[in-house]
Amino acid sequence: MEDKSESLTKSSTDYSKPSFVEISVSGTKFEIPVKSILKYPGTLLEKMLPELTEKTDEISFNRPDDAFKAIRNFYLTGKLHMVRNMCPEEFAEEMEYWGIKTEMLEPCCLYRYLAFKQQAEMSRQFRKTIHPTSDPESTKCSSWRQRLWLIVDNRDSSPLAKVYLGFIILFVLLSLASLSLGTLPMFQRKLTICEARDLLFYYHDYEDDVENFFIHVECDSSAEDVFRSIYLKYENYTDETFQEEIKEMEANGTDEGDINDMKLKWKLLKISPPNKSARLRVFDLIDLVVLVVFAVDLILRLVTCPSIGSYYKSVLNVIDTVVLICGILGYVLEKVLINFTYDRGDLDILVYLQQLRVFRLIRVVQNVAAIKVLAFCFKTNIKEILILMLFLFVGVNIFANMLFFVEPKNISSIPQAWWWGIITMTTVGYGDLYPVTVSGRIIGTLCAVSGVIVLALIIPIFVNNFLALYEFACLLQKEKDRKTKTLKIEVGPSKF
């Protein structure tokens, strides 16, 4: 400390004359006290102080004078504020040039600078996700393969790529519509007699005459109509009635064929038709066409992609392939195994995986700018999302436990109170559970208000980042389109 004070005293003695230094910045003259410059060692002016005091000629700096006005005020007042109408990055460059650290900024401007740096770093990382560095393996692809890959993976903005994207989205929507609408009762049909026959024969063994009866029926006939025609005539018959009529027919010498026919009717009445239904055949046709289209699309992707290994690093691509394979296996098994068509068993997983078709839509549009921005925001704001989940978890547990002990007759268990807490804090409010006592309603009010406050504090962070990055993505797209148009300009021959 003594050496530093001696050095400062010595410097003050050395530069006591003159007491001011005069410099010119972009033609504007500035006078700064020497004592003010000596307060901040390591800056450019402090290092040049001997030269500034000894030379009689004016020293000029070709730097922006607006930024230097703020720096001069820093020397005079000890407070450094950022120029409001100047880009923070440009002002940071000026500070670096004059040898002033960014930590010297006042808190109001330092927060603005740090927010800018954070946004700039986020934009830089986002630019890498949109325009990743070229893969060495991609250079091995021929030009037609690379061009086709850009089209089928929606990495190009050409009209052909947009048409292909719309075509694939149409079939994705058809696939989802077929899966969803096929479960409605209005779009389901009764089994035909042949479908019912195959299902009955799969589970039961019947005598030859019964099997021959079902084999010779018309397959287009409804199973319900065929069995109804039998039941209407013999609905009041019992086993004793059949036995008596058959004995009477044998005693009267009735033809053996008629007797066998009566015995057959007796056996058919004991058969219960399967209470099953199937979706309309048009949905089977839609599924077949959709499977063919997506199979061709996957083949095109695998043939044209630069690296199959890199292609399957994407979870969405893996899910898309799994769903397609399960769809093909399910379609084949429905045609081969009659029990798979109407009943479920060990192969239920194939049916459940069909519900993942919705991820196919995300996979198709994963290269759209808005989707990339959304995915990147989830990735970069994972800390804020986890904090939101933590606050919700704590709040749900606190208020749910309180409500359970206040209203034990209305809330049967704490897990049931958790459900109430979740739908209350997220302001959904289904109304299936609600407090009925005064104390319970007070707890419900506090729970709802707490949920609004938590959501209002965390969600804007995510939204602001999304809006900023989306605007940045739009600017990148405009820049890309402008470069593309520039490359397409043809220079014609000069007329002179």
SS3 state of residue 138 = helix
* Whole-angstrom distance, CA of residue 282 vs CA of residue 290: 12
Q: Give the rounded distance of the alpha carbon of 331 from its chain centre.
A: 28
Q: pLDDT band at residue 419, thresholds of 50, 70 and 90? A: very high
pLDDT tens digit string along 183-214? 888 888 877 777 777 777 766 667 766 767 77
CA distances from 94 to 4, 81, 147 (A): 28, 13, 45
pLDDT tens, 379-408? 888 888 888 899 999 999 999 999 999 988
HSE-up (13 A, CA, CB side) for residue 389: 6
**And the tokens for 28?**
């504007």
| CA 310/CA 313 separation, integer angstroms | 5
Model confidence band, residue 17 (pLDDT cutoffs 50, 70, 90): low
Tell me how far apart the alpha carbons of residues 196 and 215 are, in angstroms, rounded to a whole number.
Answer: 11
Amino acid identity of 279?
A: R
Using the structure block, give the residue that is written with the tokens 């199937």: 278
pLDDT tens-digit readout, 251-280: 777 777 777 777 777 777 767 777 777 778
Tell me which of 204-208, 323-327, 424-428 is least confident: 204-208
Which pLDDT does position 8 carry in this prediction? 45
Does the pLDDT value for residue 99 go beyond 60? Answer: yes
Q: Say if residue 420's pLDDT is above 90.
A: yes
- Please state, for a pLDDT cut of 90, what percent of the chain lies above it: 10
Give one DSSP letter per residue of 424-488, joined into a string: HHTT---SSS---SHHHHHHHHHHHHHHHHHHHHHHHHHHHHHHHHHHHHHHHHHHHHHHHHHHH
438 pLDDT higher than 60: yes
- Which pLDDT score, from 0 to 100, does residue 417 have? 92
Q: How confident is the model at residue 120 (pLDDT cuts 50, 70, 90)?
A: confident
Residue 291 has pLDDT above 80, yes or no: yes
Helix (H/G/I), strand (E/B), else coil: 61: strand
Helix segments in 337-432, DSSP class H? 338-342, 348-353, 358-364, 369-380, 382-406, 414-425
Residue 99: left if φ>0, alpha if ψ -120 to 50, beta else—which one? left
Pick the residue with more confidence: 441 or 11? 441
pLDDT of residue 208: 67
Question: Which tokens sit at 418?
Answer: 């958790």
- Helix 315-336 vs helix 281-304: angle between axes, to the nearest 10 degrees? 140
CA pair distance 324, 318, nearest whole angstrom? 10
The pair phi, psi for residue 32, each rounded to 5°, is -130, 130
Answer yes or no: are the C-beta atoms of 364 and 165 closer than 8 Å.
yes
Cβ(181)–Cβ(338) below 8 Å? no
**Least reliable range by pLDDT among 287-301, 345-359, 426-440, 481-495:** 481-495
Position 496 scores a pLDDT of: 34
Lowest mean pLDDT among 2-6, 15-19, 162-166: 2-6
Give the pTM: 0.60
Task: Report the pLDDT value the prediction gives residue 403, as an integer from 0 to 100.
Answer: 92
Coil/strand/helix, residue 136: helix
pLDDT of residue 127: 75
Report which of residues 398 and 484 the model is more confident about: 398
How confident is the prediction for the chain on average, in pLDDT?
78
The sign of the CA dihedral 334, 340, 346, 348 is positive
Report the C-alpha gap between 33 and 196 in whole angstroms: 103
Range from 311-315, 335-339, 394-398 that averages highest in pLDDT: 394-398
Average pLDDT over residues 111-123: 79
Q: C-alpha distances in angstroms, 334 versus 37, 156, 192, 309, 351?
A: 86, 39, 15, 33, 11
> What does the pLDDT average to over 90-118?
85
Task: Indicate the pLDDT class of residue 445, thresholds 50, 70 and 90.
Answer: very high
* C-alpha radius of gyration, the chain, whole number: 40
pLDDT at residue number 235: 67
Q: Using an 8 Å Cβ cutoff, are 271 and 210 in contact? A: yes
Q: Which is higher by pLDDT, 240 or 32?
A: 32
pLDDT band at 448 (very low <50, low <70, confident <90, very high): very high
Amino acid identity, position 88: P
What's the per-residue H, E or C state across 292-318?
A: HHHHHHHHHHHHHCCCHHHHCCCHHHH
pLDDT at 193 (0 to 100) = 73
pLDDT band for 425, please (50, 70, 90 cuts): very high
